[in-house]
Amino acid sequence: MITDSPLPLWVKSSYSNNGGSCVEWAPSNVSATKVVPVRDSKVGDGPVLMLSPSAWTGLLALARSSDI
């Protein structure tokens, strides 16, 4: 757990307004910690998935290429 880092500033997926299952991520956290925090936009106080920047890039590529 990182205790000296500021709270992440969460950014919602552009699909969050469509009522679907959406995510938020904290891009400002990446430059400070080299970690991409990702969470369910409907459960703001729920668990946070912590990804490396390369894993986040891979997840985005998979989501964009699939009919999920």
Q: What would the pLDDT profile of 2-40 be if each residue is shown by its tens digit?
A: 445 567 788 887 665 666 668 899 988 888 889 999 998
55 has pLDDT over 90 = yes
For the cut 80, the answer to whether the pLDDT of residue 1 exceeds it is no
Instruction: Output the pLDDT for position 28.
Output: 87
**Model confidence, pTM:** 0.71
Domain boundaries, the chain: 11-65
pLDDT for res 67: 67
State pLDDT tens for residues 39-53.
988 888 899 999 999
**DSSP assignment string, the chain:** --SSSPPP--EE-TTGGGTS--EEE-HHHHHHHS-EEEEETT-TTS--EEE-HHHHHHHHHHHHHS--
